[in-house]
Amino acid sequence: MTTATSSIEAPEQKVGRLNAELRGKSAQEIISAAVREFGRKITYVSSFGAESAAMLGLIAEVDPGMPIVFIDTGHLFPETLAYRDRLVDLLKLENVHSQQPDPAALAARDPDVFLWSSDPDACCALRKVEPLAVALTGYDAWITGRKRYQSVTRSSLPLFEADGAHVKVNPLASWGMADVVAYLDTHDLPRHPLVAKGYPSIGCIPCTSPVKPGEDARAGRWRGRGKTECGIHTQTLNAGQDI
């Protein structure tokens, strides 16, 4: 139950309460509860990638005015940008904000636009983690589309988790690929055009490759680099902080 006292709960307490209250509930119920809990202080951070249309459809059902953040790294596939525009239009999403990296930081730290090759962790910090920290300013919570099935690093993902001053909400944690496909089919939502070309997980152009049958869905991300996450889910995000 949301009470006046919940506003003074520490994020860890809030997470414990919400995980207990929402265990076994549907994605729609979890999103609705998160909106009741955080009001306009929650945003969905979307890549508009291979599985994003499911969460975007759910948000359009529950609250089409929810703020949605899209991190435009400058290295995205043109298909992703076109897919974003198509879904925004189709689902009548009212509040999508594209956040770019800081131009001065790009000029200083990636003048040759080759950082993705020489130091991909630094590139992700510059083009993803830091812009997201800026975009989350003023929010108490953010929704992610992560799912336990996607990789071993996500296999124990909770519904709610503390992330520094923020709460992260994972309404689709228990969903599998079959659930995503069923939702997209039921609601007649378009797939990202690169899925049919062998990309079950889609990030930046230099760091995304097709996946072979039987491989982990994220095997094509940073292939051969020993890197599995960009950092937005493995670092605490606080605007203004050096990350």
From 82-90, 134-142, 155-163, 201-209, span contacting ligand SF4 (CB under 6 A) = 201-209
- Smallest gap from Cβ 194 to ligand SF4, in A, equals 15
Q: Is residue 124 at the binding interface for ligand SF4, with CB under 6 A as the rule?
A: yes
- Beta-carbon contacts of 104 under 8 Å, excluding residues fewer than 6 positions away, are none
Per-position x/- string for 145-184, each x denoting binding to ligand SF4 as judged by CB under 6 A, each - no binding: ----------------------------------------
| Token couple for 108 | 């200083």
Cβ closest to ligand SF4, residue 119 vs residue 179: 119
**123, 124, 204, 230: which one is catalytic?**
230
Q: How many residues bind ligand SF4 (CB under 6 A)?
A: 13
- Smallest gap from Cβ 126 to ligand SF4, in A, equals 7
Q: Is residue 193 at the binding interface for ligand SF4, with CB under 6 A as the rule?
A: no
Residues 39-98 touching ligand SF4, rule: CB under 6 A, are 73, 75
Cβ closest to ligand SF4, residue 214 vs residue 226: 226
Q: Is residue 194 at the binding interface for ligand SF4, with CB under 6 A as the rule?
A: no
Among 44, 70, 116, 149, binds ligand SF4 (CB under 6 A): 116
Annotated catalytic, 204?
no
CB atoms within 10 A of CB 186: 9
8: left (phi over 0), alpha (psi -120 to 50) or beta: alpha
Angle between helices 27-38 and 11-22 (to 10 degrees): 150
Q: Is residue 230 at the binding interface for ligand SF4, with CB under 6 A as the rule?
A: yes
**DSSP characters over 31-93:** HHHHHHHHGGGEEEE----TTHHHHHHHHHHH-TTS-EEEE--S-B-HHHHHHHHHHHHHHT-
Cβ closest to ligand SF4, residue 77 vs residue 175: 77
**Strand 68-71's sheet: what is its strand order?**
96-99, 68-71, 42-45, 141-143, 166-169, 160-163
Encode 78-129 in three state secondary structure: HHHHHHHHHHHHHHCCCCEEEECCCHHHHHHHCCCCCHHHHCHHHHHHHHHH
Active-site positions read 230
Residues that bind ligand SF4 (CB under 6 A): 73, 75, 116, 120, 123-124, 127-128, 203-204, 206-207, 230
